Chain A
Amino acid sequence: MKSPSGRGFFVPKENLPQRSDMEKVYLTHEGLEKLKKEYEHLTKVRRKEVTARIAKAREYGDINENSEYDTAREEQSFIEGRVLEIEEILRNAQVIEQKGKGEVVAVGSRVKVEVDGEEDEFVIVSSVEADPMQGKISNESPVGKALIGARAGDVVTVSSTIKSTYRVLEIN
């Protein structure tokens, strides 16, 4: 909300012209591999497939009335969009070293906690991998932020009116 240009509401920093270099994206080893695989598939398989489909659709004649052509073009733009996104992530990716039992919670840590008396387990990941329902919590979320730097035995409270307390049981 604090927009230095005074442009106001709901325009986040990234939209401003003086955009600094993208911050490092911390990825787990697993996350990086997954992205690389997807990238390979997109650039080596899907890209070729869609180019072939476009070429074939052109043969049908007038491209203005050719829905097969439109579909292929749309798919192509989807693929290219995703390729660009992955490229940007990979350019800024930093793999998190996972060394046995960790002392403090960091991006990549697998954390066992007690939340208000119930046991829970998740991995702290960067935003691009985050999905709490799959046990991946973003390092930028309030819970992620509060846990980073914590040690086993620490009790971390995520502050807001309704409080939740995370007791760190184990860090891997």
Chain B
Amino acid sequence: MQIRMEEFIRFFIEVGKLKSTKRPGWVLRGIKNPETVADHAFRVLILAWVFGKETNLNHRRLLKLALVHSLSAVYINYISPYDKLLETKSKKELLKKYPALVLRAPIGDKWKIARQRFEEEQRAIRKLTQDLPEPVRHEIDYLWLDFQQRTSKEAKFLKALDRLENLIQALEYKDQIKDDLLAPFLSQIGQITDNKRILGFAQALCQYFTKGEKSVKSRKDRNLIKFILEVGKLKTVWRKGWLIRGVKNPESIASHSFRTAFMSWMLLGRRRVNFEAIIVMSMVHDLSTAVIGDFTPYDKVLEASRDKKRLFETLPWLGSRRGKSVLTMERLQIEAKGLDKTISFLPQQLRQKLKYLWLEYKTGTSREARLTRQIDRVEDLIQAMEYYEGDKSIPVKAFWLELKELVDDSLLAEFVDQLDYYFLQQSGK
């Protein structure tokens, strides 16, 4: 049993690489400090939930596909589907000169390139999942294959959403990208889907960015765009808990939320829990930071503290019980305001559902909420230890102490013991 948990730990660490893997398409185009693969996957997950609700598709499957679709980037980081064509020394120069080149590979080459790329990616996925228990490995491999080959309706839909997210991000980077480099993003969607909803929305997006929001006729689309752009801000809200501890270039809220959702699926998905609830709670638990920024429970005492190192060794919520309660309620009100603002453009139905789940999470009023909260902190601990291994001056003690007070699910408690063994006890650590 020990061995199996260790394999999950190693797997989560590998998946965590997506948080710092910058998407090379943007790097190539000269974007400064571009989003990471996990940032992208996070917003695809949001899109899957939002657009999935308008369809009769299997929502559970859509969410899982969103979580799986970019996993191969742990080992392989392609620039674009046509990257293989550009195997010259200065890709950037080439692309500058012939931006259209990326789309105009000879038809024979296209097939060959696609085949080669598929095989390489499949090897990457197999390598990533090889040590996991059979049903889990099978599920991930199978979902990934479905996404690649677009065998199910859900996979077709998610592929379109994946491209849609690219388009949105490209438009957000519009000031840094030349106009002639933007066009391919729109035409890619046209090639990949004939879904009228997605195509129409893509058009609306382009209008929104080029001619201003008033040019978007559908009020629903206009609002949805605003919501999606709000969500996009989470890609550049750096987590404050790492910044105050001295981590350089820390992860974003979006990246953290992505792995939290991923771990919730892996660690809770096989139980009798509401799957949608645990995934949505994981992905929206920090949504309010888009408006109010990130905070840490240390914020109130940080300024006054002389010995910061000592402060980070202790739990942030020490003190009288009444005091803690008051602080938490105060904080909840601030966050709720931020959340309301962030989701104000979401269609009413989704807004209500999201708010319910968020409140449930924050107040711990369901089993799903209490379990997901524990996963959130376990994710933090793994991240803390990853940073610690790169820089031993980063204080991590409080993360361990906190889990001893928080985690009360027997399986998750055992998982934490295994983390202790993995990170602290194993020889050489």
Contacts and interface: CB of A to CB of B under 8 A. Distances in A.
A164 B404 contact: yes
Nearest to A122: B321
Nearest to B417: A160
Contacts of A29: none
B367 A85 contact: yes
B324 A134 contact: yes
B328 A134 contact: yes
Contacts of B414: 1
Nearest to A75: B352
A121 B320 contact: yes
Interface of B is mostly: helix
A116 interface: yes
Interface stretch (A2-10, A91-99, A100-108): A2-10
B321 A8 contact: no
Q: Chain B contact residues (Cβ within 8 angstroms of A): what range?
A: 35 or more
A59 interface: no
Given A15-B272, A82-B366, A115-B315, A127 B408 contact: yes
Interface of A is mostly: mixed
Contacts of A140: 408-410
B408 A12 contact: no
Q: Chain A contact residues (Cβ within 8 angstroms of B): what range?
A: 35 or more
Contacts of B320: 121, 135
Given A1-B414, A115-B315, A130 B366 contact: no
A11 B266 CA distance: 11
A120 interface: yes
A141 to B, nearest CB: 4
A118 interface: yes
Interface in A138-169: 138-144, 158, 160-162, 164
Given A115-B315, A118-B314, A127-B370, A160 B324 contact: no
Contacts of B425: 161
B131 to A, nearest CB: 12
Given A2-B1, A82-B365, A135-B317, A158 B404 contact: yes
B370 A1 contact: no
B299 interface: no
A1 B1 CA distance: 7
A166 B251 CA distance: 33
B163 to A, nearest CB: 27
Given A119-B318, A134-B325, A141 B366 contact: no
A27 interface: no
B410 A12 contact: yes
Contact of A9 (B133, B321, B356): B133
Contacts of B405: 132, 137, 141-144
B5 interface: yes
A133 interface: yes
Nearest to A138: B408
B133 A160 contact: no
B7 to A, nearest CB: 9
Interface string A74-88: 110010011001000
Nearest to A78: B356
Contact of A143 (B347, B364, B404, B420): B404
A11 B365 contact: no
B51 interface: no
A171 interface: no
Contact of B364 (A11, A131, A137): A131
5 contacts: A74-B353, A120-B315, A137-B405, A142-B405, A160-B420
Interface of B: 1, 4-5, 8, 133, 135-136, 266-268, 270-272, 274, 297, 313-315, 317-322, 324-325, 327-328, 347-349, 352-353, 356, 364-367, 370, 397, 400-402, 404-411, 413-414, 417, 420, 424-425
Given A9-B270, A85-B367, A162-B424, 4 more contacts: A133-B327, A135-B325, A142-B413, A143-B405
Q: Which 6 A-B pairs have the closest CB atoms?
A: A135-B321, A138-B408, A140-B408, A161-B424, A135-B324, A141-B408
